Chain A
């Protein structure tokens, strides 16, 4: 009975939700229904840097990440590191769908932002702006601090235990 009640309440609340036009959705609040955590960029003496963060879709709709931008780099791509039959490589993803309630982790040896050609010299303590662009036109901006891997994980051997 209680379950039935819950379903009814849910259905009613859906029915009561005012219809939001596509245009409104775009600039209103898809962004507040996307949360970012644990953003960081490992410092590296390279023209190509990784970017990591955790993205949670708290909305009730699937969202699709279609582009990532940063004023600090000439280009940013969504990549995934893969090992196929013993051969390591990276694949570029054109888009990435995130289901309602899903959390997607950009983390070492997996999904990462491939951030190429920094426009200025970057080092520990710097902050990079990042903007995620979604298929529905919504954007989500955040800052990504640059940290050394050692600072992020503590000692080297600690990183080892962290699988």
Chain B
């Protein structure tokens, strides 16, 4: 019986990865979705709102600073993407990387140092929960703060893994799923940025 179950679940899993794994990890939305008004602070305590998004491409990803594994890797990979795009585009057309920190209680005190540790050009934003929630739902994302485990105060934050691609009109136009492949993402963004320039 167990063998049969193993076989069935394998078939399901294989079918699943066929549909999702080898398929596109990048998706352009049919309709661009204008982002709602929001007001957060960047790591230099400057207002970060809709106006800051206008006039340039932006990649927003949801994370938290107590995330030692996936979040830093995502930042590093997106930096590598920026470096690739730098070979094709002038600096004003290269997307800005925005780390949306959704755990303000732990994130706000360390955000400046956290961002400085990676690349000074990256932006980290956080702020009041309702403002975070507005932007998170605007980019079609999700997050949830977990409960601290037994005997220690740490809690996990589960969150949307995908990267939101925001156009210079402050509209959500595409998303990129994990795991990120730097070459694939660079090619995708190159095509997207070129295409939107013409239209």
- Residues of chain A having any CB pair with chain B under 8 Å: 42-50, 74-75, 77, 79, 81, 83, 86-90, 92, 108-110, 112, 114-116, 149, 153, 156-157, 159-161, 163
Question: When each residue 97-122 of chain B gets 1 if its CB lies under 8 Å from chain A and 0 otherwise, what string results?
Answer: 00000000010001001101101000
Among candidates A44, A75, A110, A157, residue contacting B68 with C-beta atoms closer than 8 Å: A44
Minimum CB–CB distance from A80 to chain B (whole Å) comes to 9
Question: When each residue 55-90 of chain B gets 1 if its CB lies under 8 Å from chain A and 0 otherwise, what string results?
Answer: 000000000011111101100110111011000000
Minimum CB–CB distance from B180 to chain A (whole Å) comes to 9
Residue of A nearest to B143 (CB): A87
CB-defined contacts of B149 to chain A, threshold 8 Å: 77, 92
List 6 A–B pairs whose Cβ atoms lie within 8 Å, in order of A's numbering.
A75-B152, A83-B179, A87-B158, A87-B160, A161-B182, A161-B183
Check A156 against B83 for contact (C-beta < 8 Å): yes
Bound Cα distance A109, B70 (Å): 5
Check A160 against B158 for contact (C-beta < 8 Å): no
Among candidates A44, A86, A109, residue contacting B160 with C-beta atoms closer than 8 Å: A86
Bound Cα distance A113, B117 (Å): 21
Known: A108-B70, A109-B73. 12 other contacts (CB 8 A): A46-B65, A47-B66, A75-B151, A83-B161, A108-B73, A109-B69, A112-B69, A149-B72, A156-B76, A156-B79, A159-B80, A163-B181
Interface residues on B, range: 35 or more
CB-defined contacts of B106 to chain A, threshold 8 Å: 47
Check A157 against B156 for contact (C-beta < 8 Å): no
Is the CB of B50 closer than 8 A to any CB of chain A?
no
Bound Cα distance A42, B181 (Å): 21
